[in-house]
C-alpha cells in the first residue's frame, strides 16, 4: 500500500501543470475515490485539493522568481483562469503577490513533496474485529461542529449540556443493539481532516426503531461491515490517538477501505480509574481486492 501511495504522489507531481484525476489516484492505490480522499487527508493532515494547490503554487513560485515566462502564462499553466485569481492564491500561500515576489526576490513558503514511509509506530498491535450489521438508525440530538483534534471539543460539550435529562432518558430507552447505550456519532461533511473542518455530531443511540418522536434527529445507516476497535486510557487523549492510529496505521495495512457512514464512538469510565475511559470505535468499512 505504501508503494501505491507513493506512486500516486508521483502522478500528482507529473500532472501539476495539468488535470489531476482523483479517480486515477484511486486506481493507482487500488481503492475507491472516497477511501483515497479520506486516507490521504488523515495521513497528510490536509485534503488532496489543498495539497495540490500548495504544490502547484510552490512550483509556480520558482518560475515567478526566475523572471520568465510572463505571470499570466504561469497562471494558466497551473490551472488559474486569470492573473487576478493566481495572484490571490499566490498571496494566500506566500504572503506576497507574484509581481512583488518577481521584483524583490521575496522570501516565499514551500509545500514539500509528500512521501509515505513505514515507521516504528506500526510495531504496536491494534486489536480489532469486523462486525456485519443490518440497517439501523442513529437517533438523538445533532449539531454541526468544527473538528478539534486535541482536547475536549467545547461545541460538543455545549450540545450535551443543553440536552434536558428527561430527553436523554427518552433517547437512551431507544437503544436496542450494539454499540449499546448512548454513543457519539460523527459524519464528516468533506474529505478534510483539517482542524476546524465541519462535521455533524450526534449524541445518540443505535436503534432499529421505525417510529420516532418528531423532536429527535435521526440518521439512516445502510447494512454493511464495521471495523470495531477498543482501547482504554486518559479521556479524550487516548481515543483521539486511536482515531489517528486507525487512519494512519490500520487502514494502510489491511484489505479494507472507508465507506460512507458515521464513525460511532462509545465511551465509559474505566472501573479501576475514573480518570481513564474505555473507548470502542466503530468505523464503516468495505473489503478491498488487495
pLDDT at 213: 86
> Higher confidence at residue 88 or residue 235?
88
Here the CATH number for the domain that contains residue 251 is: 3.20.80.10
> Higher confidence at residue 195 or residue 71?
71
Instruction: Report the run of H or E that residue 204 belongs to, with start and end.
Output: strand 198-207
Residue 144 three-state SS: strand
Q: Is residue 143 part of a domain?
A: yes
Point out the least confidently predicted range of 90-104, 132-146, 230-244.
230-244
Q: Is residue 137 part of a domain?
A: yes
Mean of the per-residue pLDDT values of the chain: 86
- Tell me the pLDDT band of 39, cut-offs 50, 70 and 90: confident
- Tell me the pLDDT band of 122, cut-offs 50, 70 and 90: very low
Q: Is residue 115 part of a domain?
A: no
- Tell me the pLDDT band of 244, cut-offs 50, 70 and 90: confident
Here the CATH number for the domain that contains residue 43 is: 1.10.10.60
Q: For residue 281, what is its C-alpha cell? A: 470505535
Q: Does residue 265 sit in the same domain as residue 133? A: yes
Q: Does residue 82 sit in the same domain as residue 185? A: no
Q: For residue 198, what is its C-alpha cell? A: 465541519
Query: What would the pLDDT profile of 81-117 be if each residue is shown by its tens digit?
Result: 899 999 999 999 999 999 998 888 777 888 888 887 6
Q: Which of 129, 287, 284 is nearest to 221 (CA)?
A: 284
Look up the pTM and report it.
Answer: 0.67
Q: Does residue 88 sit in the same domain as residue 175? A: no
Q: Does residue 47 sit in the same domain as residue 168? A: no
Q: Does the structure show a pLDDT above 60 at 161?
A: yes
Backbone dihedral region for residue 57 (phi beyond 0: left; psi -120 to 50: alpha; all else: beta): alpha
Q: Is-contact 175 137, C-beta < 8 A?
A: no
Name the one residue in this structure whose C-alpha cell is 490517538.
Answer: 241
Number of domains comprising the chain: 2
Residue 65 three-state SS: helix
Q: Does residue 226 sit in the same domain as residue 187? A: yes
The pLDDT > 90 percentage for the chain reads: 47
Q: Is residue 260 part of a domain?
A: yes
Q: Which of 129, 249, 145 is nearest to 189 (CA)?
A: 145
Q: Does the structure show a pLDDT above 80 at 238?
A: no
Domain that holds residue 82: 2-104
> Higher confidence at residue 15 or residue 66?
15
Q: What's the rounded Cα separation, in Å, for the pair 140 and 219? A: 9
Instruction: Identify the DSSP state of 31.
Output: S
Amino acid at each position: 500500500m505504501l508503494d501505491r501511495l507513493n506512486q500516486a504522489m508521483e502522478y500528482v507531481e507529473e500532472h501539476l501543470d495539468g488535470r489531476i484525476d482523483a479517480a486515477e489516484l484511486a486506481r493507482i492505490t487500488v481503492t475507491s475515490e472516497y477511501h483515497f480522499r479520506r486516507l490521504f487527508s488523515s495521513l497528510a493532515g490536509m485534503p488532496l485539493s489543498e495539497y495540490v494547490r500548495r504544490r502547484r503554487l510552490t512550483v509556480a513560485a520558482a518560475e515567478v522568481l526566475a523572471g520568465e515566462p510572463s505571470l499570466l502564462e504561469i497562471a494558466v499553466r497551473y490551472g488559474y483562469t486569470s492573473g487576478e485569481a493566481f495572484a490571490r492564491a499566490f498571496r494566500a500561500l506566500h504572503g506576497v503577490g507574484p509581481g512583488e515576489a518577481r521584483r524583490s526576490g521575496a522570501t516565499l513558503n514551500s509545500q514539500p513533496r509528500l512521501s509515505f514511509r513505514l515507521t516504528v509506530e506500526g510495531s504496536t498491535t491494534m486489536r480489532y474485529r469486523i462486525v456485519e450489521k443490518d440497517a439501523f438508525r442513529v437517533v438523538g440530538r445533532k449539531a454541526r461542529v468544527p473538528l478539534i483534534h486535541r482536547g475536549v471539543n467545547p461545541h460538543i460539550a455545549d450540545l450535551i449540556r443543553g440536552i434536558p435529562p428527561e430527553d436523554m432518558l427518552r433517547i437512551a430507552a431507544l437503544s436496542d443493539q450494539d454499540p449499546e447505550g448512548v454513543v457519539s456519532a460523527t459524519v464528516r461533511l468533506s474529505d478534510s481532516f483539517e482542524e476546524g473542518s465541519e462535521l455533524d455530531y450526534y449524541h445518540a443511540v443505535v436503534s432499529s426503531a421505525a417510529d420516532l418522536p418528531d423532536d429527535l434527529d435521526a440518521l439512516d445507516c445502510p447494512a454493511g461491515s464495521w471495523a470495531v476497535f477498543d482501547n482504554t486510557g486518559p479521556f479524550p487523549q487516548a481515543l483521539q490517538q486511536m482515531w489517528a492510529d486507525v487512519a494512519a496505521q490500520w487502514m494502510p495495512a489491511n484489505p479494507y477501505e472507508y465507506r460512507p457512514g458515521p464513525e460511532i464512538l462509545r465511551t465509559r469510565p474505566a472501573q479501576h480509574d475514573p480518570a481513564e475511559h474505555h473507548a470502542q470505535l466503530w468505523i464503516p468499512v468495505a473489503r478491498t481486492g488487495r
